[in-house]
Structure 1
Amino acid sequence: MALKQITRVNIAEKVFEQLRDQILQGTWKEGEKLPSEQELTETLGVSRSSVRQAIRTLADYGMVETRNGTGTYVKRQISGNYMLNIVPIGDLQFEDIVEVLDFLCLIEDSVAAMAVQRCTQEELAELQAIHKRLIAAKDQNDLEALTNVDVEFHSKIAMITQNSLVVQTYALLLEFLQPVMHRTYVTLGAEEGIPYHERLIQAFCAHDAVSAKNVMGAHAQNRRDKFLALQERIEP
């Protein structure tokens, strides 16, 4: 059996996921102050730098705001119950996944166009860096890392829009789609999806919102079509 390179666990990402889930579930409500960095460090058993990075990510997602001298507070969120009704947690059925993919087909192209119009040079550099890591994971045939970076790529595009509704919706939908994306890579190979990302990067570099919209629309439709094709293989 061939040995596979071990994927390093990103502690800050795990901290972010726990904090995000607490906010979405209503444990910490709008306007409520999060526990201090020291409290989170002790409770979670992680370094303070990991906690700080997780909080920065929450802020990027528009979920919290840090006020100088007072701490970090929860911002207005999409209703947790509302979102859970859109995407059932814990037991996604075939029909649920198709609905999510259909929804992304409706919005992803417009999200990409908005992101191109609002993208700064710094954000473009960050998006390009994520794409380079995507290529590296593909070259190593590390499908787990490839899936994670793929999700990060689309999440970054959502964050570039500076629209908290878009960011929070993507955060939830992409989490549920991650297993589907991984299965697609396992079945169809590491090259799947890469050409679309490369064309998206080109559109961002050219500040071409129309091209970005067309490429992302084709990408979303291709993702849906490939999922249906894979399902037919499993259940002929």
Structure 2
Amino acid sequence: MPFQKVESEKLSQAVVRQIEQLILQGILRPGERLPSERELSERFGVSRPSLREAVAELQEAGLLTTRAGAGIFVAEVLGSAFSPALIRLFSRHDEAVFDYLSFRRDMEGLAAERAAKFASDTDLQVIGAIFAKMETAHARRSPDVESGLDAEFHMAIIEASHNVVMLHMMRSMFDMLRHGVFYNRQMLFRVRTTRSTLLDQHRAINEALQARDPAAARAAVEAHLSYIEDELAAQQKADRKESVARLRFEQERRRL
């Protein structure tokens, strides 16, 4: 018969499974510092030797890392999603920007649709709270703050979709955006008319989610990202015209 004796789980394994789950669900984020060993052992209700055994196993698995004199951290696991060579390639070619936006439009449209269906009431409260902060930042004319909240807003929607594969994939994509691999997000928030349009678009997304309307949520996200694509294309076209105009100006100066 294919039955085996039931054995009680080691305490260290219970700790490992719980930390793995927190990382998988995106609750513990890459680079985040964990509480001290003493505090962790108290929270888990295990001895320090059991905790150390769990931490050692998670370190070996590449999920945790320790820094001398600093503590225990969640490993920067997102960095492995794309190789450094591919990231450099993305940053040097304009076509990657528009492929990135097309990918986001597809993935985030799906995430918004899922969030409208599957988000908990708390998920929607988080999204609504971030949007309220965006309104405050807009009133205070804080484009840098608005830009940061923009990323938080979109990630909150992805988290509310409750798909852990999508969550980690999109976190990796947003991490590259945060480091300016694709484009400078802050630039979109420096023109007053653009800022107002972006706020209205985020309002439409938030309202559709709060109403739990999957089709409207997806359409609002897709319209928002199509707008960003059009704005970036127009900006690139204007930059090319300005570059040609400067060359002509310099040439005219040499002729004088």
Calculate the TM-score normalised by the size of structure 2.
Answer: 0.61
User: Does residue 43 in structure 1 map to residue 70 in structure 2?
Assistant: yes
Paired residues, what number?
183
**Which sections of structure 2, spanning at least 5 residues, go unmatched?**
1-27, 34-57, 242-256
Residues 124, 160 of structure 2: 8 Å contact kept: no
Letter in 2 for 1:173: M
Q: In 2, Cα distance between the equivalents of 1:176 and 1:129? A: 25
Q: In 1, Cα distance between the equivalents of 2:231 and 2:82? A: 25
RMSD over aligned Cα atoms:
3.2
Residues 78, 165 of structure 1: 8 Å contact kept: no
Shift of 1:219: 1.0
Q: Structure 2 vs 1, CA of residues 145 and 139 (structure 1 numbering), >3 Å: closer, same or farther? A: same
The residue that corresponds to 1:149 in the other structure is 149
Where 2:238 maps in the other structure, the secondary structure is helix
Letter in 1 for 2:188: T
Residues 143, 189 of structure 2: 8 Å contact kept: yes
Q: In 2, Cα distance between the equivalents of 1:197 and 1:41? A: 43
Q: In 2, Cα distance between the equivalents of 1:192 and 1:41? A: 47
**Which sections of structure 1, spanning at least 5 residues, go unmatched?**
1-14, 21-27, 45-50, 56-63, 65-73
Query: CA-to-partner distance for each residue in 1:129-173, whole Å, 9 max, x for gaps?
Result: 100111111111111111000000001111111212211222122
Q: In 1, Cα distance between the equivalents of 2:107 and 2:63? A: 33
Query: CA-to-partner distance for each residue in 1:68-102, whole Å, 9 max, x for gaps?
Result: xxxxxx7xx7792x533896159713222122112
Where 2:195 maps in the other structure, the secondary structure is coil
Counterpart among 181, 185, 195 of residue 181 in structure 1: 185
Counterpart among 189, 210, 214 of residue 219 in structure 2: 214
The residue that corresponds to 1:11 in the other structure is none
Q: Please state which structure has a larger fraction of its residues in helix.
A: 2
Q: In 2, Cα distance between the equivalents of 1:98 and 1:226? A: 11
Query: CA-to-partner distance for each residue in 1:18-68, whole Å, 9 max, x for gaps?
Result: 459xxxxxxx87844624xxx669427xxxxxx8xxx7xxxxxxxx7xxxx
Calculate the TM-score normalised by the size of structure 1.
Answer: 0.66
| Larger Cα-atom Rg | 2
Q: Structure 2 vs 1, CA of residues 211 and 33 (structure 1 numbering), >3 Å: closer, same or farther? A: closer
Q: In 2, Cα distance between the equivalents of 1:162 and 1:86? A: 31
Letter in 2 for 1:145: V
The residue that corresponds to 1:48 in the other structure is none
Residues 124, 209 of structure 2: 8 Å contact kept: yes
User: Does residue 167 in structure 1 map to residue 194 in structure 2?
Assistant: no
The residue that corresponds to 1:133 in the other structure is 133
Q: Structure 2 vs 1, CA of residues 30 and 148 (structure 1 numbering), >3 Å: closer, same or farther? A: farther
The residue that corresponds to 1:232 in the other structure is 237
Alignment of 1:96-111 (within 5 A): 96-111=96-111
Percent sequence identity over aligned pairs: 17
Q: In 2, Cα distance between the equivalents of 1:181 and 1:96? A: 15
Q: Structure 2 vs 1, CA of residues 29 and 166 (structure 1 numbering), >3 Å: closer, same or farther? A: farther
Where 2:134 maps in the other structure, the secondary structure is helix
Q: In 1, Cα distance between the equivalents of 2:30 and 2:63? A: 18
Q: Structure 2 vs 1, CA of residues 18 and 211 (structure 1 numbering), >3 Å: closer, same or farther? A: same
Q: Structure 2 vs 1, CA of residues 163 and 43 (structure 1 numbering), >3 Å: closer, same or farther? A: same
Residues 185, 192 of structure 1: 8 Å contact kept: no
The residue that corresponds to 2:91 in the other structure is 92
Residues 87, 173 of structure 1: 8 Å contact kept: no
